Amino acid sequence: MPSVVGLLEQRELAARRRVEELREEAERIQAELAAAEQDGQEWVIARSRVCEVLTPVDESGQGHAQAARTAPAAEGQPGKTSSEPGAARPTSQVPVWRVGLAWSVLSVDYQRILRALADRARLGQGPGSCQELAACFGMEMVPARVEALRSKAKRLLARGWLAEPAPGRFTLAKGVTGPGGGS
């Protein structure tokens, strides 16, 4: 009959082998996870670049997203976020949408959201999430930025500019079309 100590040593050896097998499997999975995360980030960057390319170019040769990022701020005043004359102030209220109401009544941030969702609809991509919009605008993918976008999208939704066909997915409301006339 084998000794108790011998049996314990066999079990200990089997447990060590199992731990090593699991460690190797964990390392393999970690490597796959890192590769998948890298791949995901590359797709976010690609989508961001495509959105930049699809952004209309103003007369200075910059896209609106570029112009908003490079506009200098006067001392003591918030930076100008639009090269469009007569654009609403960033702190302005969102009016209730009605037929014929132009996008220009909205602040630049709200116009960017509408423009991005209009581009998605034009390209047949369907409703967009706030994470997708943040990536499209080249924003940092941090919760605070995404939640700020979500707040703006919900405000546009409440005022009739957007529709939410699925939770967290936004599209232009029926009747809201181009930036010119809004109808």
Q: Is residue 32 part of a domain?
A: no
Higher pLDDT, 138 or 183: 138
Tokens of 58: 């103003």
- The overall average pLDDT reported for the chain is 79
What 3-state class would DSSP assign to 104?
Answer: helix
What pLDDT shows up at residue 9?
93
User: Using CA atoms, how far apart are residues 137 and 148, in angstroms rounded to an integer?
Assistant: 13
96 within some domain: yes
Give 44's pLDDT tier (boundaries 50, 70, 90).
Answer: confident
Range with lowest mean pLDDT among 17-21, 35-39, 90-94: 90-94
Alpha-carbon distance 21 to 72, whole Å? 58
User: What average pLDDT does the segment 50-59 reach?
Assistant: 70
Determine the average pLDDT of the residues in 135-164: 90
Band (183; pLDDT cuts 50, 70, 90) = very low
| More confident site: 106 or 74 | 106
Specify if 136 maps to a domain: yes
Give me the mean pLDDT over the 5-20 stretch: 94
User: Averaged over 124-129, what is the pLDDT?
Assistant: 91
Instruction: Give the model's confidence band at 79: pLDDT under 50 very low, under 70 low, under 90 confident, else very high.
Output: very low
Residue 163 lies in a domain: yes
Does residue 41 fall inside a structural domain? Answer: no
Pick the closest to residue 182 from 156, 154, 155 (CA basis): 156
Which of 28-42, 64-78, 134-148, 150-164 bottoms out in mean pLDDT, i.e. has the lowest? 64-78
CATH of the domain at 139: 1.10.10
- Structural domain of 99: 64-172
Residue 165 has pLDDT above 90, yes or no: yes
pLDDT of residue 13: 95
- Across 67-96, average pLDDT: 47
Residue 18 lies in a domain: no
Strand ranges (E), 37-130: 128-129
Q: Is residue 104 part of a domain?
A: yes
- Total number of domains in the chain: 1
DSSP string across 117-144: HHHHHHTT---EEHHHHHHHTT----HH
The model's confidence at residue 56, banded by pLDDT at 50, 70 and 90, is low
